[in-house]
Amino acid sequence: MRIVLISTPIGFLGSGKGGGVELTLNSLVTGLLSLGHCIDVVVPKHSKLFDINKDAKLHFVEGVEQVSWQHQDYYSPASIPDNSLLTGMLEKAIDIGKNADIILNFAYDWLPIWMTLNLNIPIAHIISMGSESSVISNLISKVYRKYPYNFAFHSNTQACDYPFIKNPIIIGNGFDLNTYIFQSNKDGPLAWVGRVAPEKGLEDAAYVANQLGEKLNVWGIIQDESYASKIEQSLSSSTIVWKGFLETDKLQKELGKCRALLNTPKWNEAYGNVIVESLACGVPVIAYRRGGPSEIIQHGETGFLVEPNDKDSLLSYLRIINKINRRDCRNWVENNASTNIFANRVVKWLTKVIQKN
């Protein structure tokens, strides 16, 4: 198939601002290319894909970014700024789409979802978050009634945020496992990976490390400075070691040395890319039973799930984390979340969308 992808309009690919979408989009492109499909990607200027994706055709668009829905009020209206990047990306995708089989949208935004009703080219949407906006959820509900096949989600828990979706199409996620090297060392430091912002709940992981008198290695873009410094001030010692946002290759090398990843989301994490990245390196995960991570972690085999916000349970499972066989963590990813498995699920979905549109 010839597929035109629309990337997220908040930050360019490689900036870290697009959160999980950056990795998901790159992984999907890798998988689709290896299955022989022809891929065009419409991206903000300065975007770059992983080297392995050099055969994908990039189309750069300039303009004013959308404001992230994560950091807007749930009832905010959808806004389109002057010289809108999103509008430019959509126009470009529609133009290329005239000679393609389907458009695949990653933007969690009103305009591309609304265009499903108004294009004669099929446009499918990977919904990358739980419900972060009333206007977006209501629009998905309206479009879904006419185009029930055009929406896919990363996890069942995430899809539950959209209760009007009867049989949600779940595509999971996938990663290029050649870029993650398994490491067997069992007594390394503690890790936390993610955008440093309130919805990610870093404070709980920091509390646990502090209780153990240990350091907590934190990788990820510091999206909310005041949130980050507030956590630091709340801790006695300098518990947190800020490692910044690392490219996948460097991240996996350091993450693989850790004995456990703590995952403490305060929101309905749609999937949990960092969980799979950690497992791919052999690092077991202790996470809140919330969102996508609760469907990824096999309790007692690849890590442990605790009731949300229960920091003391995080602590008690951390003490027995060495019971987990690190090889089981890697095996789960190979059997459930490779780029090949992910791309095949997406191709099956897109084929159905084309048939039904």
CB of 71 to ligand HBI, least distance (A): 8
The tokens of 54 are what?
Answer: 């050099």
Phi, psi of 218 (to 5 degrees): -115, 115
Q: Which is nearer to ligand HBI, 56 or 85 (CB)?
A: 85
CB of 10 to ligand HBI, least distance (A): 5
CB of 11 to ligand HBI, least distance (A): 8
Which uninterrupted H or E stretch holds 39? strand 38-44
- Residue 353 and residue 355: Cα distance in Å, rounded? 5
- Using DSSP's 3-state secondary structure scheme, residue 284 falls into coil
Q: Which residues pair with 338 in a beta bridge?
A: 175
* Helix residue ranges per DSSP H, the chain: 20-34, 85-97, 110-114, 134-146, 156-159, 202-212, 225-234, 248-255, 273-280, 293-296, 311-319, 326-336, 339-356
CB of 141 to ligand HBI, least distance (A): 18
User: Whose CA is closest to 69, among 249, 220, 199?
Assistant: 199
Task: Determine the residue with CB nearest ligand HBI.
Answer: 19
What is the b/e burial string over 101-111, where b = at least 16 CB atoms within 10 angstroms of the residue's CB?
A: bbbbbbbbbbb
Q: Which is nearer to ligand HBI, 10 or 96 (CB)?
A: 10
Q: Which is nearer to ligand HBI, 19 or 265 (CB)?
A: 19
CB of 211 to ligand HBI, least distance (A): 30
CB of 43 to ligand HBI, least distance (A): 12
Q: Which is nearer to ligand HBI, 10 or 169 (CB)?
A: 10
Contact 66, 86 (CB under 8 A): yes
Q: Which is nearer to ligand HBI, 26 or 239 (CB)?
A: 26
- Residue 187 and residue 318: Cα distance in Å, rounded? 12
Contact 334, 177 (CB under 8 A): yes
Q: Can you tell me which residue has the tokens 């009333």? A: 134
Q: Which is nearer to ligand HBI, 69 or 147 (CB)?
A: 69
Q: Which is nearer to ligand HBI, 221 or 315 (CB)?
A: 221
Q: Which is nearer to ligand HBI, 7 or 183 (CB)?
A: 7
List of residues contacting ligand HBI (CB under 6 A): 8-10, 18-21, 66, 68-70, 107-109, 128-129
CB of 270 to ligand HBI, least distance (A): 7
CB of 179 to ligand HBI, least distance (A): 20
Q: Helix, strand, coil shares of the chain as percentages rounded to 5?
A: 40, 20, 40
